[in-house]
A and B are shown apart, each in its own frame.
Chain A
């Protein structure tokens, strides 16, 4: 039978290739649920999910909420501003209180790396990481990989370039681990200040030359320039970034005509990518959003069995 034993999904780093493939296969069937007239199955009927977002999020939280509702779970949202964390309650106390209300899953976003492991070790609820600092964002990577597999039919042997602010990106880290485990060739590229060369040691190709990064790429995953995290200057100006590392008419000449263009959103139009290409035939950006719900349904469904143990 199947080898899903985890009650938590915290990092792609923790998974093996078989587990990743099981999530992707399961997501394929859940994707169909959202295409039906009745977009709901009773798989998590009677289960309660708390979406606990200590860091703000709109799209990830909306995607999780829809996934939970389409699985028939009951859901509650707690934001940092409305939680007792601001009254001085510790994170563990908050989690223990949630657990005491017989909650089955906590979907959590938190800026502190390790917070999820700590909570997972201390409560019986299943913990799903919806982003922790610059560490991991596993469901984003899963939906990216799902989209690539759906479009290209495989992951093994594909050349995937991740372009932009790798340094601050949990999306990049989760993608890198997942893609490497499934046998893709991963290149990271961007300004030297934002692309740590240490990634070479895990088998990632590092380049600061856009042309080299784009040529031969089957997939180009663009990362958002994160103004809100960028307190010191990593590059001279947004305009300079756009002209050197943005996808525009000039740089798109290096891109293979069948390469997929991806972006986890929200897009800074005219910075990472010009509108013409963000909305162009090679872009799968909105399909990523669609697939996010299916992947999150699959993750919650799979861990639901482990919670019962």
Chain B
């Protein structure tokens, strides 16, 4: 990683909290009183933290525990022929049957849409969900695939050579969003 990169806060802890609440509200609005069929799947590893956070907020709002799983898309990436480095494979743990479920796929940042494309392939290898929705904390634009989120916290156009990262504190209570001037060298797009 480049240590000299400039980093500033894009969304502070209060704003981040607000936008996550906004996602939870739109999910509750759509699935009003039909929570038994829904399940959350977070894309490893930031999307999984966010999924856990969303599940926690749904529970405090509705008293319903929504099953939450994690998915790692490394094995489904579309840049196999060109990629230079291998990223760590995080745990895929889907502790429920996806068959017939309304799956809410969760990730922190939506950019090119390629990660989501891979995640859709990965999830459908586990079964045939009734539907899949997409929840995103920050939609930064720059789509390369025809993919759109259903529940979005914040839409903010960020130029291609910048990187957005969501930082979850160790207790997963108060995330914060950073904008990096120089793109971080990373295996994950």
Given the complex of chains A and B, what is the CA–CA distance between A26 and B75 in angstroms?
11
Which single residue of chain A is at the shortest CB-CB distance from B86?
A: A305
Q: Does A13 contact B (CB under 8 A)?
A: no
Number of A-B contacts (CB under 8 A): 63
Cross-chain contact of A1 among B81, B82, B88, B126 (Cβ < 8 A) = B88
B92 touches A32 (CB 8 A): yes
B187 touches A38 (CB 8 A): no
Given the complex of chains A and B, what is the CA–CA distance between A35 and B91 in angstroms?
14
Proximity string of chain B (84-121) to chain A, C-beta cutoff 8 Å, 1 when within and 0 when not: 11111111100000000000000000000000000001
A40 contacts across to B, CB distance below 8 A: 125
A115-131 at interface with B (beta carbon < 8 Å): none
Given the complex of chains A and B, what is the CA–CA distance between A4 and B84 in angstroms?
10
Q: Does B155 contact A (CB under 8 A)?
A: no
A38 touches B125 (CB 8 A): yes
Q: Does A36 contact B (CB under 8 A)?
A: yes
Main secondary structure of the interface of B (DSSP, over half): loop
Most chain B CB atoms below 10 A, which of A25, A29, A302:
A29
Cβ of B141 to closest chain A Cβ, rounded Å: 26
Which single residue of chain A is at the shortest CB-CB distance from B99?
A: A37
B86 touches A301 (CB 8 A): yes
Cross-chain contact of A29 among B72, B82, B121, B125 (Cβ < 8 A) = B72
Given the complex of chains A and B, what is the CA–CA distance between A305 and B87 in angstroms?
10
Given the complex of chains A and B, what is the CA–CA distance between A26 and B72 in angstroms?
12
A304 touches B88 (CB 8 A): no
B170 contacts across to A, CB distance below 8 A: none
B83 touches A305 (CB 8 A): yes
B122 contacts across to A, CB distance below 8 A: 41
Stretch at the interface among A43-51, A191-199, A276-284: A43-51
B76 touches A41 (CB 8 A): yes
Proximity string of chain A (44-62) to chain B, C-beta cutoff 8 Å, 1 when within and 0 when not: 1111000000000000000
Cross-chain contact of B125 among A41, A44, A46 (Cβ < 8 A) = A41
Q: Does B186 contact A (CB under 8 A)?
A: yes
Interface residues on A, range: 20 to 34
Cross-chain contact of A44 among B80, B84, B90, B121 (Cβ < 8 A) = B80
Cβ of B9 to closest chain A Cβ, rounded Å: 25
B81 contacts across to A, CB distance below 8 A: 46, 308
B76 touches A42 (CB 8 A): yes
Given the complex of chains A and B, what is the CA–CA distance between A36 and B75 in angstroms?
14
B80 touches A1 (CB 8 A): no
B126 touches A42 (CB 8 A): no
Given the complex of chains A and B, what is the CA–CA distance between A37 and B186 in angstroms?
32
Q: Does A2 contact B (CB under 8 A)?
A: yes
Given the complex of chains A and B, what is the CA–CA distance between A302 and B74 in angstroms?
11
A32 contacts across to B, CB distance below 8 A: 92
B80 touches A304 (CB 8 A): yes
Cβ of A303 to closest chain B Cβ, rounded Å: 9
Q: Does B127 contact A (CB under 8 A)?
A: yes
A37 contacts across to B, CB distance below 8 A: 126-127
Which single residue of chain A is at the shortest CB-CB distance from B122?
A: A41
Beyond A1-B187, A36-B126, A41-B125, 6 additional pairs, beta carbon < 8 A: A4-B85, A25-B88, A25-B89, A29-B74, A43-B74, A304-B80
8 closest A-B pairs by beta carbon, nearest first, are A41-B75, A43-B75, A305-B86, A38-B125, A29-B89, A1-B187, A4-B86, A26-B89
Instruction: List residues of chain B with CB under 8 Å of any chain A CB.
Output: 72, 74-76, 80-92, 121-122, 125-127, 186-187
Report 19 cross-chain contacts, Cβ distance below 8 Å, ordered by A residue.
A1-B88, A1-B186, A2-B85, A2-B88, A4-B86, A26-B89, A29-B72, A29-B91, A36-B126, A38-B125, A41-B76, A42-B76, A42-B80, A44-B80, A304-B80, A304-B86, A305-B85, A308-B83, A308-B84
Instruction: List residues of chain A with CB under 8 Å of any chain B CB.
Output: 1-2, 4, 25-26, 29-30, 32-33, 36-38, 40-47, 301-302, 304-305, 308-309
